[in-house]
Amino acid sequence: MTRTVANGASNTAARIRDAARFLFARDGYAAVSMRQLAAEVGVQAGALYLHIPDKQSLLFDLLHENMESLLVAWDAEPRGEGPVGRLESFVRFHIRTHLDCPESVFLSNMELRNLTPENFRVIAGLRDQYEAELVAILQDGSAADKMRVPDANLAAKAVLAMLTGVSGWYRDGGRLSRERVERIYWNMVRRAVGA
Amino acid sequence: MTRTVANGASNTAARIRDAARFLFARDGYAAVSMRQLAAEVGVQAGALYLHIPDKQSLLFDLLHENMESLLVAWDAEPRGEGPVGRLESFVRFHIRTHLDCPESVFLSNMELRNLTPENFRVIAGLRDQYEAELVAILQDGSAADKMRVPDANLAAKAVLAMLTGVSGWYRDGGRLSRERVERIYWNMVRRAVGA
DNA sequence: GTCTATACCAGGATAGAC
DNA sequence: GTCTATCCTGGTATAGAC
């Protein structure tokens, strides 16, 4: 029979990453000690170093995985027709994925400053790639006279800030359903860019 | 003759606050040591404790002052006429003040999690007060049929996230003037809320 | 009011037994 | 693969001289 889970080693590695994602998101990278992290995983501090080279690599790997999977997921996302359709797809995709893993999103937004300069450049590059997707949509929409954006770069930043903010307050089971949140945000974005 | 500056003691206290604002904003509260802070001020670590009780109080004081002065400044801000005029005033006020002290803004947005629970409640209360100002404007505008916002609380959060984001990328002397940035954002907000 | 010196504890990371 | 024990550095905060 085939195994559906990995062996003990990589399982612990995965648990370390999960615990780190949770703790870093809640308390901040700098505020979480390796001892705390080990306790959360249920091992001793020294055992962590069998699975990760150091704390910085752990943060980098988490952020790197976040951005890569975001880009891959967007690449696989079905797009609407025309610039406006693609914009709606982007807005709904962004909100949906950000509500699906709020911890990862929070990490990616808060912990960039704790990356070493080299690691920062890598992650920032991936972020720029993602942002460029939105910029392209806005430029296409503008060129086709389907949107009114005097500055696509500025508009992209404004839209992304607005959308990303949703993971800061949305709670499942709250007053608003996800579909309703997606729809309201989409309406705001649509009007904001004059579509 | 009257003195326009305080004595040596409170001057050092002010320099500590300035240095803390700078370093906390750049590296994060948890990542900045009291030794670093002292070096930035130009004194030895022990001397800091003549002016502040501890590190946590320093953070709290900075955030508290930020929020208080924000609320006071908004209170003194001339308002436009009607809900739409007030919304424009709010948008421009928010952008202007946030570009005036980007470090303070960044601090207030990033370091809430490093406050003790009691301190957090105080700051969060002040933030809520500020947000309530925007909610009220949107509700008034909606009631008077001058705006279309299905949910004023959600819309306020969306608008605030969008506006606050500006301090993350705007640089004086860059491609866009402040006035132009204010105008573009105002147009986006205006249309987003259907005004 | 500031300095030097230091107490005391916690940080990241490693070594060696099992 | 994990544990215990430990190294070394650096953290916050205080004491006492000047």
Sign of the dihedral through C-alpha B132, B133, B138, B143: positive
pLDDT of A91 strictly over 60: yes
- Residues B108, B155 share a domain: yes
Q: B120 CA to C8 C1', in Å? A: 28
Please indicate whether, in this complex, the C-beta atoms of A165 and B161 are within 8 angstroms of each other. yes
d(CA A91, CA A85): 10
The last residue of a domain, from among B52, B69, B91: B52
- Residues A90, A29 share a domain: no
Residue with tokens 């729809």: A183
- Residues A124, A94 share a domain: yes
d(CA A192, CA A149): 9
pLDDT of A8 strictly over 50: no
The last residue of a domain, from among B52, B69, B93: B52
d(CA A12, CA A18): 10
Q: What percent of chain A has pLDDT over 70?
A: 95
- Residues B97, B25 share a domain: no
- Residues A41, A64 share a domain: no
CATH number at residue A93: 1.10.357.10
Q: Smallest Cβ distance to A191: which of B27, B161, B191?
A: B191
Please indicate whether, in this complex, the C-beta atoms of A113 and B160 are within 8 angstroms of each other. no
The pLDDT of residue B10 is 58
Dihedral pair phi/psi, residue A44, rounded to 5°? -85, 160
- Residues B99, B76 share a domain: yes
Query: What burial letters (b/e) apply to B169-188, b meaning 16+ CB within 10 Å?
Result: ebeeeeebeeeebbbbbbbb
d(CA B154, CA A92): 16
Q: B42: which 2 tokens?
A: 């130009």
Q: Which domain holds residue A44?
A: 1-52
- Residues A68, A46 share a domain: no
Residues 141-160 of B with CB under 7 A from strand D: none
d(CA A68, CA A61): 10
Q: A45 CA to D7 C1', in Å? A: 15
- Residues A172, A186 share a domain: yes
Sign of the dihedral through C-alpha B116, B122, B123, B124: positive
CB distance B166 to B148 below 8 Å: no
DSSP type of residue A79: P
Start-to-end Cα distance in chain B? 54
Count each helix (H run) and each strand (E run) in chain A, helices first: 9, 0
- Residues A109, A70 share a domain: yes
The pLDDT of residue B5 is 42
The pLDDT of residue A138 is 98
CATH number at residue A15: 1.10.10.60
The pLDDT of residue B78 is 98
- Residues B107, B28 share a domain: no
Question: Mean pLDDT throughout A78-97?
Answer: 98
Contacts of A166 in chain B (CB under 8 A): 157-158, 161
- Residues B180, B87 share a domain: yes
| Res. A6 pLDDT band, cuts 50 70 90 | very low
Residue with tokens 């470090």: B103
Q: B40 CA to D3 C1', in Å? A: 42
Q: A79: which 2 tokens?
A: 């797009």
Considering chain A, what is the average pLDDT of its residues? 94
* Domain count across chain A: 2
d(CA B28, CA B114): 10
The pLDDT of residue A5 is 44
The pLDDT of residue A96 is 97
A9: nearest nucleotide, CA–C1' criterion: D1
DSSP string, B50-114: TT-S-HHHHHHHHHHHHHHHHHHHHHHSPP-SHHHHHHHHHHHHHHHHHHH-HHHHHHHHHSGGG
The pLDDT of residue B7 is 43
Q: Which tens digits make up the pLDDT trace of A108-167?
A: 999 999 999 999 999 999 999 999 999 999 999 999 999 999 999 999 999 999 999 999
d(CA A127, CA A139): 18
The last residue of a domain, from among A33, A52, A71: A52
The pLDDT of residue A14 is 97
DSSP type of residue B165: G
Burial of B39 (0-12, 13-18, 19+ CB in 10 A): middle
pLDDT tens across the length of chain B (195 residues): 333 344 444 599 999 999 999 999 999 999 999 999 999 999 999 999 999 999 999 999 999 999 999 999 999 999 999 999 999 999 999 999 999 999 999 999 999 999 999 999 999 999 999 999 999 999 999 999 999 999 999 999 999 999 999 999 999 999 999 999 999 999 999 999 999
Bases of strand D lying below 7 A from some protein CB: 1-6, 10-16
Residue with tokens 């648990």: A15
Q: Checking phi first, is residue A7 left (phi over 0); if not, alpha (psi -120 to 50) or beta?
A: beta
B56 touches strand D (CB under 7 A): yes
Please indicate whether, in this complex, the C-beta atoms of B192 and A194 are within 8 angstroms of each other. no
- Residues A26, A117 share a domain: no
Mutate: best of B26, B59, B105, B154, partner A, most A CBs <10 A: B154
Cβ neighbours around B40 below 10 Å, total: 16
Look up the protein residue whose alpha carbon has the minimum distance to the C1' of C15: A46
